[in-house]
Structure 1
Amino acid sequence: MPGVSNEELAKRIAELEEENRILKNKGGVSPPGSLQATTEPTPRKPRSWPWTLLATVLIVIGALLAPTAIAASWAKIELTATDRFVAAYAPLADNPAVQAFVADEASKAIDQHIDVHKLTSDIIDGVTALGTGPLATKALESMKGPAAAGIQNLMHSTVANFVSSDAFAVVWREALRVSHSQFAGAMQNDPNAALQVGGDGSLGIELSPVIAAVKKALVAQGIDIANQVPEVNRTIVVAQSDAVPRIQLAYGLAVAAGTWLPWASLLFLAAGVLVARRKVVALIWAAIALALAMAITVAALAAGNIVFLASVSPSLLPGDVAGPVYATVVELLQTVSTAILVLAVAVAVVAWYAGPFRTPRRLRGFFGQGMKQVREAAQRHGISTGRTGEWLYRQRLLLRLVIAVAGALVILFVRPLTAGVVIWTLVAAVIAVVVLELLQRPAGDALPAADAETQVPVA
């Protein structure tokens, strides 16, 4: 250094080293001019991986609970809303395959209790016993077979016509309404339930109400021998599996949890987002996890159709009957799962768009600039929202929150929840946000005084 001797430089270096040693012993920080000022490590921020791990665990639990929560909610709704239950299952009465199957089963039940051939033979024998000639007797004897077959065909056609008529649809609908609680009774092993679960895991539907109505229709057609049909307790077995008793247990747990389990799933997901350090990223991943869970649920329901058909057709039910029955049972589950899948994807997209990422920031800037240009063009043509627009701008955060809460309430409480409801709710929310952006009037959007004199306030 110019003007400094080697002795003075060495003395200064020694003094600085002594100061560093003293400060190090006291736990202090070296002054900016010290030799170690450039080598001291910078303080580390507190590690956040425990919070990230906790958020991940909570989100995974919430996503895994979602399918069970939907099943529990479905069971609760189906067994407590009579009108919805009837509306869901009544259309089966209009399915030609179901009608043909019910007519065939009802005809078999009647044939088992009425021996038409014996009745016809007894009637003809009674006539010939009155004293008919040889030719007449021979002719009557030859009529036994055709007469019995004709009566059977008449009975079967009457049953088929009744099952395909509006009267059968009314009987079916009323039976559903009266026996709305029968499925729950079957799952609880109620012996009086129309839907019975056998000890071998068989699942069947009681046909006695239908056969009683068919008997009445036969008598009305003049087929008096139908009066001999007793009260028939016939059950159509629609499924048989060793897993049915386990399904009963799962069903009981699902009904018990039908009220709180959906909220528990939502709570876990929300908690995972709240404890995360990067909440926007956590919200995106929570939505993606929920969407994956719903996609797996929808796929499982679709695969379940194949498994169901393979297990019951053709041994228990014809394939053209088993398909509509399964579709009716899982229709609400598929609808709700698809709706939540659409909602989760939408939440992920919205969270990404609102997040602190480079591409979304550019998109928001593009959107904001576009809205600003539209407002400026309107002002140049004398259209302005005036003080109302200024108030809307000051309250924009509150108004956006109101829009979000309104959309959330629609999705939470409108039933049945469908993909259409979700999509239209999102469309309405987006339109509301765009309208709010157009109507608000930031302070920086004011035109020069010369132009402002020609404006015509719209509010």
Structure 2
Amino acid sequence: MNPDGIPEPPDSGGSAPQKHVMTAEERAEYERLRRHAAVRHRRLRQVGSSVLLLLALLLAPLAVVAAWVQNTVSDTDRYVETVAPLASEPAVQEVVINRLTDRVVANVDVAAVADSLGRALQESGAPPRVVEGAESLEVPLRNAVRTVVDRTVTRVITSDAFEQVWEGANRRSHAAVVNMLTGDREGAVRAEGDTVQLDVGAVVDQVRERLVDAGFDKAAAIPDTDRTITLFQAEELGKAQDMMRLLDILGTWLPLVTVVFAALAVWTAPAHRVMLMITATGIGVMMVVLLVALAVMRRVYLDSVPPTALPTDAAAAIYDTFVRFLRDSTRTLLVVAVITALVAFLYGPARSARAVRGVTDRGTTAAGRALSGGGLRTGTTGRWLTGHKAWTTGCVIAAGALTLVLWNHPTVGAVVLVLGIALAILIILAVLAAAAGPADRAAERAAP
């Protein structure tokens, strides 16, 4: 509909078309219909962006977990980096030392040694008191054997060589994590019914070899069976494995879909900046929820592990070691979300945002004028930066975002570093723009 008028069809005499001038009632009706269409279109965009935002927020925690599982399973270096600290964790070392020492001592028949000594003394004609004393040596002998075995095992477990053996074994058996998640019965970490167990067979072999070299020939009889340590028990392990398999499959696509939903939510919203701030805030809240969930799961896990199966401090060390990269990723996304929401707010019309922008502009302008007054003028470059401030700012922000995307497993420190560099570049560009110098601009205006 033409608000100024509509052309009438030409008459039969071939006269020029005449415009129909809208009456006041027609113009009012036209404006009403246009406002109605605009409101309807705006509401549709709001509903669509709200649905996309809800999907993005619901998928965000799952996307983080899925990406963590996918990275841990598919990247050998990442997997080894995840489990390597267990070899140097004192609480875990203590558990391994005690378990191995108990098994070695259990295979040394101290009572038979004491009986043999007593018989030998008796046959050699030793006094009865001496023979009785030899028979009572079982407890001291057992303590002595345990002391020597414990010292030998401790030297093996706490040595750098053990850490290297541990990392090498885990690198060769990288499929251990996959086996735990899928329920396969191969590898260092595997699922057995409702339990997840750690195979310490390589450690047992090394300890047995060291003990035999130290003169404990009986250590060669240490059995090859029962060489696992139960990490934790969970009745819902089967369901957790099914969920992990699903997350592993979606590990590549779920984060991408979440980012697309969030971007579409911002793009379809009538107010892009406001929706960007809302989206960033919502994702930050979901990251906080995920961190709380990890803390709750830690408590549940520790409560499910009997102290007789694994000491609390060792269980806590194992849990914290396995999920530390997930925590790091969650914290990193939380920081990114907070920064994004803050930037979106600072570009808004709020009084505090205007005050911050004003202080920044005055500061960079003063610095630029000081450079210009000192003879360091940017001339054409400065004027170009002034005329293309929005483009340069967008390019710097995009470059920072791309850097974080290409960064291999960015941390909070990496985010702070990239943010600091981006802010420094923006400040430098603003100072260079202000250093164009009024004399240069006057000369440009005077030029023909």
| TM bucket, shorter chain | 0.7 to 0.9
- 1:96 corresponds to: 90
Q: In 1, are the aligned partners of 2:45 and 2:269 still within 8 Å (CA)? A: yes
- 2:394 corresponds to: 401
Shift of 1:210: 1.4
Q: Deviations over 1:16-52 (max 9, x none)?
A: xxxxxxxxxxx99544xx9x99999855242222211
- 1:194 corresponds to: 188
Taking the aligned partners of 2:164 and 2:362, their CA distance within structure 1 comes to 61
Tell me, what secondary structure is at the counterpart of 2:185? coil
Shift of 1:213: 1.2
> Partner amino acid for 1:195?
V
> Partner amino acid for 2:320?
A
Q: Deviations over 1:155-178 (max 9, x none)?
A: 233223322232322222222222
Shift of 1:365: 4.1
> Partner amino acid for 2:416?
I
- 1:387 corresponds to: 380
Q: In 2, are the aligned partners of 1:379 and 1:447 still within 8 Å (CA)? A: no
Task: For structure 1, list consecutive stretches of 5 or more residues without a partner in the other structure.
Answer: 1-26, 451-459
| Residue number among 267, 284, 288 corresponding to 2:281 in the alignment | 288
Instruction: Tell me: CA distance 1:28–1:389, structure 2 relative to 1, closer, same or farther (3 Å).
Output: closer
- 2:422 corresponds to: 429
Q: In 1, are the aligned partners of 2:185 and 2:192 still within 8 Å (CA)? A: no
- 2:62 corresponds to: 68
Equivalences, count:
420
> Partner amino acid for 2:168?
E
Q: How does 1:49-198 map to 2 (within 5 A)?
A: 49-112=43-106, 114-121=107-114, 123-124=116-117, 127-128=120-121, 131-135=124-128, 137-198=131-192
Q: In 2, are the aligned partners of 1:202 and 1:240 still within 8 Å (CA)? A: yes
**Farther-moved stretch of structure 1 (336-345 vs 309-318):** 309-318
Q: Which has the larger radius of gyration?
A: 1
Taking the aligned partners of 2:119 and 2:153, their CA distance within structure 1 comes to 29
| Residue number among 234, 241, 244 corresponding to 1:241 in the alignment | 234
- 1:310 corresponds to: 303
Shift of 1:92: 2.2
Tell me, what secondary structure is at the counterpart of 2:226? coil
> Partner amino acid for 2:218?
I
- 2:367 corresponds to: 374
Instruction: Tell me: CA distance 1:161–1:40, structure 2 relative to 1, closer, same or farther (3 Å).
Output: closer
Shift of 1:138: 3.9
> Partner amino acid for 1:160?
T
Q: In 2, are the aligned partners of 1:195 and 1:203 still within 8 Å (CA)? A: yes
- What is the RMSD of the two structures over their aligned residues, measured on CA atoms? 2.9
> Partner amino acid for 1:234?
R
Taking the aligned partners of 1:391 and 1:412, their CA distance within structure 2 comes to 30
Q: In 2, are the aligned partners of 1:73 and 1:259 still within 8 Å (CA)? A: yes
Instruction: Tell me: CA distance 1:228–1:393, structure 2 relative to 1, closer, same or farther (3 Å).
Output: same
Instruction: Tell me: CA distance 1:369–1:162, structure 2 relative to 1, closer, same or farther (3 Å).
Output: closer
- 2:346 corresponds to: 353
Taking the aligned partners of 2:370 and 2:127, their CA distance within structure 1 comes to 110
Instruction: Tell me: CA distance 1:50–1:131, structure 2 relative to 1, closer, same or farther (3 Å).
Output: same
TM-score by length of 2: 0.85
Instruction: Tell me: CA distance 1:141–1:417, structure 2 relative to 1, closer, same or farther (3 Å).
Output: same
Shift of 1:442: 8.4
- 1:3 corresponds to: none
Q: Deviations over 1:126-162 (max 9, x none)?
A: 6358644444544433434433432233223322332
- 2:446 corresponds to: none
Shift of 1:404: 1.5
Task: For structure 2, list consecutive stretches of 5 or more residues without a partner in the other structure.
Answer: 1-19, 444-448
> Partner amino acid for 2:417?
W
Q: Sequence identity of aligned pairs in percent?
A: 30
Shift of 1:397: 3.5
**Farther-moved stretch of structure 1 (397-406 vs 128-137):** 128-137
Q: Deviations over 1:46-97 (max 9, x none)?
A: 2222211110110111111111111111111112222232233222222222
Q: Deviations over 1:172-195 (max 9, x none)?
A: 222222222212112222222322
Taking the aligned partners of 2:142 and 2:361, their CA distance within structure 1 comes to 85
| Residue number among 205, 212, 225 corresponding to 1:219 in the alignment | 212
Shift of 1:109: 2.6
Tell me, what secondary structure is at the counterpart of 1:239? strand
Q: How does 1:228-307 map to 2 (within 5 A)?
A: 228-307=221-300
- 1:5 corresponds to: none
Instruction: Tell me: CA distance 1:229–1:405, structure 2 relative to 1, closer, same or farther (3 Å).
Output: same
Taking the aligned partners of 1:240 and 1:434, their CA distance within structure 2 comes to 55
